[in-house]
Chain A
Amino acid sequence: MKLIFEKSRPGRRAAHLPSHEGLAAPEVPSELRRSRPPRLPEVPEVELVRHFTELTSRNFGIDTGFYPLGSCTMKYNPRVNERVAALPGFRDLHPHQSEAGSQGALELMHELQEMLAEITGLDAVSLQPAAGSQGELTGLMLMRAYFADRGESEKRRKIVVADTAHGTNPASVTMAGYELVKVDTDARGNIDLDDLRAKVDDETAGLMLTNPSTLGLFDEHIEEIARIFHGSGALLYYDGANLNAVCGISRPGDMGFDIVHINLHKTFSQPHGGGGPGGGPIAVRRELEPYLPVPAVIPDGKRFRLDYDRPKSIGKVRAFTGPFGVFVRSYAFMLAWGRELRTMSEDAVLNANYLLARLKEAYDLPYDRLCMHEFVLSARTLKREHGASALDVAKRLMDYGFHPPTIYFPLIVSGALMIEPTESEPKEELDAFCDAMIAIAQECEERPELVRSAPHTTPVRRLDEARAARNPVLKWIRVSS
């Protein structure tokens, strides 16, 4: 398919601006004026609409079909959320509008904060971080500020991260200026407590943990883990990527975590938008509240206001009070569930266990336990016996009309297929997916070449990623005529 630039013809245009009679042409000093116009595409509006419509036809979303991408919580994104986010009172509200002119927005944010505090079992919430990984980084900044206040920041330099962690955890540790200490996973998929005890001391600032882990397993020793860290004066950070498993069932605060980030685009249905936007609010225990980003949204009698007077605050991690449009959607989603939110997590866990039960004969199951909202299979036997890898299975699933699961993660499982169905799917869809997975395992035995050369039905076939990295072409280069 052509690029929009390849459809461009000089003199064509879509936009026409209002004309104002009698305005003088502006004078720009010549040394600051643009010397050559930017070569944006020149297309009429119909071409623009057709171009992007054709692009959407070459893309797969939750609205297209089942999208069991592990750790990404690809649940249904209610359409009403888009309707309410587009209300002019939200969409066209300037972030510097006075408090008097933004009471509805401030109230919404305050209510969302209260809801997230209740769900996480913690005391105070900042909605500011732009995404989960920024929430992580913010959490680590809070740790640093907390220990600096106690005169311990020079000493406490280490952050412990499980070997099953998302890559964002170690990356955030480095960006926050901490040293990474990795801890192993035991044979049941829990953190290895002996390894942990040997690695936590008075130089430890904290732990970053996802629970349930990226294996989809709830750590059975979470209380002991919390005791180990708190016993040495360190803090516990909860990566909320997997919060969809436990809403209304178990709260990070009650597990012993001091800081939590929540992914509004996972658990609370903000559409993933092809890669974003997200929302990564953080919830903390009372002792950490003074360090939260400014401004805080607080009640003031019957009204709400922005409080900048937080002398111990770490500052700001993004502009304004956070991605407000995301808050509107997540708030609407929470209103729909209300106190029945527990059913959301129960159905998510039920769906995952159902898939697990149906698939564990056809694929390897590295940790044979009941899972939470997701689980990890392995294609290592298929690879060894038939030469078909996890990647091949993933690509073949496309021919059956499904988005593949997350593959090759977590890193500790070879040939990992990480499957997260979410609560959204009807049983028939789950069955169709299982049938496809089982059929593909069969194909690996009988016609492995068919699987290894998949996909066969997509707009392009298997793409050469090595070539893209070896010889990077990162923008369209005009061939001069």
Chain B
Amino acid sequence: MTYVSLTDADRAEMLETIGVASVAELFRDLPEGVRLGRPLDLGDPLSEQEIVERLEELAGRNTPAGDEISFLGAGVYDHYVTAVVDAILERGEFLTSYTPYQPELSQGVLQALFEYQTVICELTGMDVSNASGYDGTTVAADACYIAKHATGRVKVVLAESLNPQVRQVVRTYAPGFGLEVVDVPHRDGITDPEELRAAAADAACVIFQQPNFFGCLEPAPDLAAAAKDAGALAVAHVDPLSLGVLEAPGAYGCAIAIGEGQGAGNAMSFGGPHYGFIAAREEFTRRMPGRIVGETTDVDGQRGYVLTLQTREQHIRREKATSNITTNQTLLALGGLIQLCWLGPQGLTELGETCMALAEQAKERIGLPLVFPDRTTFKEFAIRAGRPATEVIRDARAKGVHPGYPLGRDYEGMDDVLLVAVTERRSLDDIEALAEVLAA
């Protein structure tokens, strides 16, 4: 077997030191009735080479983004990830360490997380960020939990144009949190501030997405103001890669900004692992979930970093903790940090503008009717294909193009609608190929 480090001679010597006759005797506290008493029904142990062969065979039966021209998005995006991310994250000192409980041996991860928190605060215009949440769905549930305790209210309002999986996760958490969930329908692809204001009465928070699930730009400042007027916390779910172009949620009055970090620095990896981010205004610092890194000094006065405000956390506060999160998404968040530092302020802005311009080009070249023609969109847009989207996808895939996500899966009356995502990885030729298969 591949990962055994003891020899039989080692084992014999160790058993003697312990003072037992056999390995079996080490398990003498186990009642007879709970012992398995047979080998596990698993396969023969494989060598490293055989493992690679088996996994290559499985991977070969998937169609990754590189094997077709993909316009799939809907929450996870095919953005370019710099080789610098891979090079750093493969280093064992980061990869194989754990939560930095012992800061003197963990300054690398701690300082990097402090830098990550700074980057997230810069992007979102917020005061405090944690060291990552699980993904872009669970951070929405976290935001609701903060809002419930901050306002003493139990209603949470979700824009219908918020990613359906985010809404579903909030609904799953709601019974345990004691929350009542209300949806506000979209009007021609965006949320109406007046409708939101009415729904937000007595609500703990309102969550909307910018750009929203349809790719449309919401009147975000008006939505935040509507929530605020009703005494609810405004929570914006944002695409980090849009924040070189679009205004920071902190600048238009949001209390909390959340989002899915995948597009910034993580592979798509069939849905995970990715990182979710959550950042808030200073007044919510002590209600934040999960790990937070803070600056301090050592006994010599040298600057250093530690996990801090731990009295919020489960290992100290137990049932009174602000969340149960322990293992988070540190490595993925560090990928995000590296990617965002690689992009820099100019790169981030250029990236947003490029995606947006390519998407405009795609709209024009495809020529099919837009579902929401009056809206400004970012890197995604919805089109009517005139026949079931699932059929369109099947036919296009046969020609090597994945044309997008079938919105009918989540929204009534949209069975013929495709949500098309265009990242900087798609070329003008790719767009022509898309236009061609959709015209067929």
Which residues 251-293 of A sit at the B interface, judged by CB distance below 8 A? 251, 254-256, 263, 265, 271-279, 293
Contact assessment for A18 and B357 in the assembled complex, using a CB-CB cutoff below 8 Å: no
Give min CB distance, A134 to chain B, whole Å: 7
> Does B11 make an interface contact (CB < 8 A)?
yes
Once A49-B88, A370-B26 are accepted as A-B contacts, the answer to whether A17 and B347 lie under 8 Å apart by CB is: yes
Verify A27–B45 contact, CB threshold 8 A: no
Given the known interface contacts A59-B97, A92-B78, A318-B272, the answer about A14 and B344 at a Cβ–Cβ threshold of 8 Å is yes
B323 surroundings in chain A (CB, below 8 A): 171, 175
Query: Across the interface, do A95 and B18 meet the contact criterion of CB distance under 8 Å?
Result: no
Chain A window 97-115, contacts with chain B (Cβ cutoff 8 Å), 1 for yes, 0 for no:
1101111110110000001
Verify if A137 is at the interface (C-beta below 8 Å from B): yes
With contacts A277-B331, A350-B11 taken as known, whether A90 is within 8 angstroms of B270 at the C-beta atoms is yes
Q: In the complex, A85→B4 CA distance in Å?
A: 22
Contact of A461 with B300 at beta-carbon distance under 8 Å, contacts A37-B345, A174-B321, A277-B331 already known = yes
- In angstroms, how far is the closest chain A Cβ from the Cβ of B389? 12
Across the interface, B59 reaches (CB within 8 A) one of A87, A131, A347, A476, namely: A87
Binds A, one of B193-201, B287-295, B366-374: B287-295
A320 touches B376 (CB 8 A): no
Q: Which residues of A contact B50 (CB under 8 A)?
A: 335
Complex Cα distance, B328 from A134, in Å, reads 10
The residues of A that contact B152 with a CB separation of less than 8 Å are: none
Which of A193-201, A379-387, A441-449, A465-473 forms part of the interface with chain B? A465-473
Instruction: Tell me which of B119-127, B226-234, B380-388 binds A.
Output: B119-127
Confirm or deny: B136 has a beta carbon within 8 angstroms of a beta carbon on chain A: yes
Q: Give the residue of B86, B93, B291, B354 whose beta carbon is less than 8 angstroms from that of A275.
A: B291
Judging by beta carbons under 8 Å apart, are B63 and A118 in contact?
A: no
Q: A325 within 8 Å of B by Cβ?
A: yes
Bound together, the chains give a CA A247 to CA B175 distance in angstroms of: 34
A82 at the B interface (CB under 8 A):
yes
Q: Are B107 and A323 in contact (CB under 8 A)?
A: no
- Chain A residues with Cβ below 8 Å from B300 are 461
CB distance from A92 to the nearest CB of B (A): 4
Contact across chains for B17 and A357 when beta carbons are under 8 A apart: yes
Q: Which residues from chain A contact B202 at a C-beta distance below 8 Å? A: none
Within 8 A of A (CB), among B281-310: 285, 291-300, 302, 304-306, 308-310
A273 contacts B94, C-beta separation under 8 Å: yes
Query: Contact between B45 and A340 (Cβ–Cβ < 8 Å)?
Result: yes
B121, A326: Cβ atoms closer than 8 Å: no
Residues of A within 8 A of B113 (CB): 274-275
A31 within 8 A of B: yes
Does A464 lie within 8 Å of B297, measured CB to CB?
Answer: yes
Name the interface residues of B348-377: CB closer than 8 Å to any CB of A: 348-351, 353-354, 356-358, 360-361, 376
In the complex, what distance in Å separates the CA atom of A469 from the CA atom of B43? 51
Q: Which of B62, B338, B394 contacts A48 (CB 8 A)?
A: B338
A20 located at the interface, meaning its Cβ lies under 8 Å from any Cβ of chain B in the complex: yes
Taken residue by residue from 110 to 142, chain A's Cβ proximity to chain B (1 for < 8 Å, 0 otherwise) reads as 000001001101000000001111101100110
User: Judging by beta carbons under 8 Å apart, are B34 and A77 in contact?
Assistant: no
State in angstroms the CA–CA spacing of A82 and B51 once bound together.
12
Complex: how many Å from CA A130 to CA B440?
42
Does residue A156 face the partner (Cβ distance < 8 Å to B)? no
Q: Are A339 and B64 in contact (CB under 8 A)?
A: no
Q: Given A14-B347, A347-B6, A89–B26 Cβ distance below 8 Å?
A: no
Contact of B100 with A104 in the complex, beta carbons under 8 Å = no
A155 within 8 A of B: no
Given known A168-B314, A473-B294, contact A404–B331 (CB-CB < 8 A): no
A131-B327, A171-B324, A272-B98 as given contacts; A40 in contact with B60, CB under 8 Å: no
Task: For A80, list chain B residues within 8 Å (CB).
Answer: 48, 51-52
Asked if B308 and A469 make an inter-chain contact with CB atoms under 8 angstroms apart, the answer reads yes
A13 CA to B65 CA in the complex, in Å? 28
Q: How far is the CB of A303 from chain B (nearest CB, A)?
A: 10
- How many Å from the CB of A360 to the closest CB on chain B? 11
Max chain A Cβ within 10 angstroms of own Cβ: one of B11, B23, B92, B315: B92
Chain A residues contacting B168 (CB-CB under 8 Å) are 315-316
Decide: A168 and B324 in contact? CB cutoff 8 A.
yes
Residue contact B245 to A255, C-beta cutoff 8 Å: no
Known: A48-B84, A95-B268, A350-B23. Is A61-B94 also a contact (CB below 8 A)? yes
Asked whether B345 lies within 8 Å of A38 as measured between CB atoms, the reply is yes
* Alpha-carbon separation in the docked complex, A95 to B260 (Å): 14
Interface pair A463/B268, CB less than 8 Å apart: no
Measured between beta carbons, the chain B residues less than 8 angstroms from A15 are: 82, 342-344, 347, 351
User: Is B188 positioned at the interface, with any CB of A under 8 Å from its CB?
Assistant: no
B402 and A90 form a contact (CB under 8 A): no
**Of B41, B102, B272, B340, which contacts A277 at CB under 8 A?**
B272
How far, in whole Å, are A38 and B351 apart by their CA atoms in the complex?
A: 14
A427 touches B14 (CB 8 A): yes
Interface centre among A37, A90, A93 (most CB of B within 10 A): A93
Give chain B nearest CB distance to A252 CB in angstroms.
9
Q: Per a CB cutoff under 8 Å, which of B135, B311, B347, B358 touches A469?
A: B311
User: Are A105 and B326 in contact (CB-based, < 8 A)?
Assistant: no
Given contacts A133-B327, A319-B272, 13 further A-B contacts (CB under 8 A): A34-B349, A40-B343, A59-B94, A62-B96, A96-B74, A98-B394, A171-B314, A177-B178, A272-B99, A274-B113, A324-B271, A337-B1, A423-B3
12 contacts between A and B (CB under 8 A): A3-B114, A3-B118, A20-B427, A88-B64, A105-B58, A131-B327, A249-B36, A319-B75, A322-B272, A335-B43, A350-B23, A469-B309
